[in-house]
Amino acid sequence: MRLKDLGEFGLIQKFFRSAGTRDRSVLAGIGDDAAVIALGSDHCLLVTTDILLEDIHFTQRFTTPFLLGKKSVAVNLSDIAAMGGDPRYYVVSLSVPGSLPVRFVQELYRGMRSRARQWGVVLLGGDTTGSKHGVSLSITMIGTAARSRVVYRHGARPGDQIYVTGTLGNAALGLTLLMRGLDGPESRQLIRRHQDPEPRVAVGRMLGAQKIATSMIDISDGLLGDLHHILEQSQVGARLVRDAIPLSRQYKKFCQYAGSDPYRCALAGGEDYELLFTAPAHHHARIHRIAQSLKLPITPIGEIIKRPGWLEVVDKHGRRVPVGREKGFTHF
């Protein structure tokens, strides 16, 4: 059997999970946004790693080295944010062809530093090597959190409301527009969301610190796919209200113009790096205050139900909407 027959998630499950861990200091290993290590009685380390590979995750045609650097740090910040943690340190593994202009690496680091500095995250070092084919960039980020404030994927409970930050589908639509050469002034904002996602560190930290969220994940594989991870690990189901999904003005305008279903990208498109979380209904007012203080929309889009693994989408009239539960992007 070849890897492409197995698929990425199959591969990860097959090998990483079987590794298991019987070390008592590891509170969460594979299968959350970041691994969680107990440090002393009250503190935790959060560890996450992400690869960005040329012509798989990005192409130099559609981004700049500066934005690539920013994004590589942002996607890791987003993982720490999704655990309610404080991002602190990162290391970089970088493989680049010798034929690449020095300026490329300069700009890449400038991008990394610019995103890292925004959140006080420190570059510890890394390994750099020549490659024969393209750029490969892997970042490992370390965060900290109080043990009682870490937010996992497995805490969602029936009756909890499901929330998302920001607006959805922008990054996926932005990429589509880029690929079609529609890089004009009207589409620039959507394209920016693909090239330069804004990690939701502040809101993740507040939802953890105030013990509001019962479960949390960042939307990197698409709303449905990522919600499914929460359902699976929390052993619950969900009912989503399609019409409640927050969409940006530009996003709606482009969908209307193209005559395409605005909920397609919003449900299945990835890389928005917004936070998806669940919280008991009585926290609604506190969530509203957080949204106001951060000037970031946080929208309830459904609720957690008992039926494990069940995911249904209804329209504003409560009628079921068929959605081909498109899974996240598979790398093989």
Cβ proximity to a second copy, 142 vs 168, nearer residue: 142
User: How near is the Cβ of 104 to a second copy at its closest, in Å?
Assistant: 8
User: How near is the Cβ of 325 to a second copy at its closest, in Å?
Assistant: 22
Does residue 285 interact with a second copy by CB under 8 A?
no
Cβ proximity to a second copy, 28 vs 290, nearer residue: 28
Cβ proximity to a second copy, 2 vs 295, nearer residue: 2
User: How near is the Cβ of 89 to a second copy at its closest, in Å?
Assistant: 6
Rounded to 5 degrees, φ, ψ at 280 are: -60, 145
- Rg of the chain (C-alpha set): 20
Which range in 104-112, 150-158, 229-237, 272-280 contacts a second copy by CB under 8 A? 104-112
User: How near is the Cβ of 145 to a second copy at its closest, in Å?
Assistant: 14
Does residue 244 interact with a second copy by CB under 8 A?
no
User: How near is the Cβ of 123 to a second copy at its closest, in Å?
Assistant: 4
Phi-psi region of 27 (alpha: psi -120 to 50; beta: other; left: phi over 0): alpha
Distance of CA 275 to the CA centre of its chain: 7
Q: Give dist(CA 16, CA 26) in Å, integer.
A: 15
Mapped onto helix, strand or coil, the DSSP state of residue 123 is: strand
Q: Interface residues for a second copy in 185-214 (CB under 8 A)?
A: none
User: How near is the Cβ of 146 to a second copy at its closest, in Å?
Assistant: 14
Cβ proximity to a second copy, 47 vs 276, nearer residue: 47
Q: Give dist(CA 92, CA 22) in Å, integer.
A: 28
User: How near is the Cβ of 50 to a second copy at its closest, in Å?
Assistant: 5
Helix axes of 65-81 and 102-118: crossing angle, nearest 10 degrees: 30
Name the DSSP class of 32. B
Interface with a second copy (CB under 8 A), residue from 38, 105, 202, 321: 105
Mapped onto helix, strand or coil, the DSSP state of residue 185 is: coil
Identify whether the C-beta of residue 83 lies closer than 8 Å to the C-beta of residue 33.
yes
Does residue 140 interact with a second copy by CB under 8 A?
yes
Position 120, amino acid = G
Identify whether the C-beta of residue 203 lies closer than 8 Å to the C-beta of residue 294.
yes
Q: Interface residues for a second copy in 13-72 (CB under 8 A)?
A: 14-16, 18-19, 21, 23, 25-26, 29-31, 35, 37, 39-40, 45, 47-51, 53, 55-57
Residue 83, classified by CB atoms within 10 Å of its CB into exposed (0-12), middle (13-18) or buried (19+), is buried
Cβ proximity to a second copy, 28 vs 67, nearer residue: 28
